[in-house]
Amino acid sequence: MPSSGNDDFDLQTPESRTRLAPRRKPYWEIVAPGRHIGYYRGARSATWHARKFVGEGRYEEMRLGPCNDASAAPVAGALTYLEALAAADTWFGGPAPQRPRAQQVAVAKAEIDGPLERLHSDRLDAISDAWARERPDIDFRLAGFFLRIEHAHYLHEQRLSAISRAKGVNIGDLHVLLALRRSGPSYALRPTDLFRTLLVTSGAITKRIDRLVQQALVERVADPDDRRSELVRLTRRGAAIADGAISRINKNLSAIVAASGITAAELATVDACFRKLVASM
């Protein structure tokens, strides 16, 4: 898949967008591998765009609608970031016939304002339904529930991969940087701590450390408590990448929760239920 040719810009807030200078082509933000949301800022107007990779070095692009950022007066039909993201997701969705622009906006708004409308049958339900037909003696609702957890993890990893690529590292190496950053001053851990924390082999963590040392994102230093051992320490540049990545991750997750309509109380209940499930596994 070709590079977009631009950095991965943060388009999520009006403040971040107003810092972008007017230019002839959109600024792009990665929302998933091969999928971008774009923001065009002209001298007098601003518009939202989307594009997706279609193979052989080509992208297909679509104008989603206007944005209020560059206009002093309200713009009819202007989309917020979340509405533009929902409209882009609708367009990304597949080979369905193209809806009229007004209908696409209505779908995007419905996905944000009325999240219960999104609880329709999908391919994960189809898997459970197929098993129910073949094995009516078994209740597959639990299997469907865990399939959704697996699918959510897959989508989250896709977003993490996009963020890591934008930062110039792969996702495994980003996990190392994040583990070091959250360890606190002096942002150093033993290799054994890292592979136990990240649930990978010692050989895999050695390769990740080697790559990060080559990029000057971490450094190997002597362990002051045991001169026979070494620590892996985050460099200033590595810390900057880790901080930027975790900020972006938090923004993405906050946008997802906001678009879903889930309240803080509902999220706390889901979290408590997951903790009970994990404790029993």
Q: Long-range contacts made by residues 23-31, C-beta under 8 angstroms, separation at least 24?
A: 28/4, 30/4, 30/162, 30/163, 30/165, 30/166, 31/85, 31/88, 31/159, 31/162
CB 112 within 8 A of CB 259: yes
d(CA 227, CA 213): 20
Pick from 121-130, 212-221, 223-232: least confident: 121-130
What domains sit in the chain, N to C, each tagged with a CATH number?
14-118 (no CATH), 167-281 (1.10.10.10)
At residue 71, the pLDDT reads: 60
Give the containing element (helix H, strand E) for 232: strand 226-234
- Main-chain dihedrals φ then ψ at residue 46, nearest 5 degrees: -140, 145
At residue 106, the pLDDT reads: 39
d(CA 215, CA 4): 22
Q: How are the residues of the chain apportioned to helix, strand and coil, as percentages rounded to the nearest 5?
A: 50, 20, 30
Token pair belonging to 142: 């639990």
Token pair belonging to 185: 């001053």
d(CA 108, CA 88): 8
Side-by-side strand order, sheet with 35-41: 27-32, 35-41, 46-55, 58-67
Token pair belonging to 147: 């399939």
Query: Rounded mean pLDDT of 98-121?
Result: 39
CA atoms within 13 A on the CB side of 143: 13
CB 204 within 8 A of CB 195: yes
d(CA 155, CA 94): 16
Query: Rounded mean pLDDT of 21-28?
Result: 90
pLDDT tens, position by position, 120-166: 446 677 777 787 788 888 877 777 788 888 888 888 888 888 888 88
Query: Rounded mean pLDDT of 56-85?
Result: 80
CB 218 within 8 A of CB 232: yes
The bridge status of strand 226-234 relative to strand 35-41 is unpaired
Token pair belonging to 148: 């959704």
For the chain, the straight-line distance linking the first and the last C-alpha, in angstroms and rounded, comes to 38
Pick from 51-55, 96-100, 140-144, 157-161: least confident: 96-100
Pick from 18-22, 103-107, 232-236: least confident: 103-107
